[in-house]
Amino acid sequence: MSTETMTSRERVLSALSHQPSDRVPIDLGGNQTGIHKFAYQALVEHLGLDEKIEIMDAVQQLARPSEAVLERLRVDTRYVHAGAAADFNGEIVTAERDGRTWHDLTDEFGVRWSMPDENPLYMDITLHPLADATIDDLDDYPFPSGGDPGRFAGLRDRALAIRNDTPYAVVSGISGVVYEICWYMRGLERWFMDMIEQPEFCEALLDQTLRFWLDWFDAFLDEVGDVVDVIMIGDDLAGQGGPLFQPEFYRRVVKPRQKRLVQSIKPRTSAKIWYHTCGACRTYIPDLLDNGIDILNPVQISAANMAPAELKAEFGDRLSFWGGAIDTQHVLPAADTETVREHVRKSMEAFKPGGGYVFNNVHNIQAGVPAENVLAMYDAAYDFGFYA
């Protein structure tokens, strides 16, 4: 029987440095690597735990896993999140529209996210505040302040508590969303038309979101740049079959701004930079490496050209993979536990040689995934994750 010889933090840092470790690190609990409230409810009931479920991400309706669950799943990470601006009211309100009851959240950028009362799975955008804006309107729009001190109140104490009082790696919440916020504010169809009709509008709006995140990270790194082990940033660039928009536009307009952000972070911390994009993103991996990222998430292995062994062979010496555990569209929700274990075993076989791998589901564990399959996935990660 293999035994552990490292602390969780040592294990994560070794893996992300492509160094030998005792076993593959295991993760759960982030905004892009978490678990839906309904799946979590089923899991805690299956485990016989009596817990009040806390929502950590209202839009995705993700639960905040308890310490008991994290320990049962042998998770090696713990998350620390910055907050909202001091004067931001993030209250979810109830509204009646079109004969339906909605739960609405308006974020700091003025985007309204809504969840129908009769089907409370997650929130979708129901108001794009810049849908009809001109480029001149951007100068007068009340963009939030990234460096508002209220965001970071107590952050250092929370991060140090993990670093000093636990054996776990310290991981940030998701941040650095330079691109996606733009289409949230504009509307996806209108934004895609802007790419063709008025790319200067896209650049002007991207400059606003970049400024927000540069200011945000300036304050964040002042607080915990010496404490966090992994910093999570990301923008979805791809869908199931390939890029969501022309790679030429990405490389000419989006990439320089993403790169500026990453390069502003790296000199101020030893933390590894984790980048999230769903979908068939293989064509963008060289660009992301050029930007300076260290880790790719969620590694959607069911998408086109995302076979684990091929990704590892082509990029594994320069890139760590975080996720990629199993086909979450077809296997994890519907297969039996033995099939789940076999998929995990094959993913481990492909990703774990030489380090550079942190185990997790592909994105969030969604509502309807049986608790038995969640446990089978995590137990298989532990059983097949040892290097000796």
Set out the domains of the chain in order of their start, with CATH numbers. Answer: 8-384 (3.20.20.210)
Strands (E) in the chain, as ranges, are 55-57, 62-63, 77-80, 93-97, 100-106, 112-116, 124-127, 169-175, 230-234, 272-276, 295-297, 320-322, 357-358
Strands 169-175 and 112-116: unpaired
- In Å, the largest CA–CA distance within the chain is 66
Q: How many angstroms separate the CA atoms of 343 and 186, rounded?
A: 40
Indicate the DSSP class of residue 251: I
**pLDDT by residue, tens only, the chain of 388 residues:** 689 999 999 999 999 999 989 999 999 988 889 999 999 999 999 999 999 999 999 999 999 999 999 999 999 999 999 999 999 999 999 999 999 999 999 999 999 999 999 999 999 999 999 999 999 999 999 999 999 999 999 999 999 999 999 999 999 999 999 999 999 999 999 999 999 999 999 999 999 999 999 999 999 999 999 999 999 999 999 999 999 999 999 999 999 999 999 999 999 999 999 999 999 999 999 999 999 999 999 999 999 999 999 999 999 999 999 999 999 999 999 999 999 999 999 999 999 999 999 999 999 999 999 999 999 999 999 999 999 8
Q: How far is CA 207 from CA 109, 212, 257, 304, in A?
A: 14, 9, 8, 31
Indicate the DSSP class of residue 279: S
Q: How many angstroms separate the CA atoms of 227 and 156, rounded?
A: 8
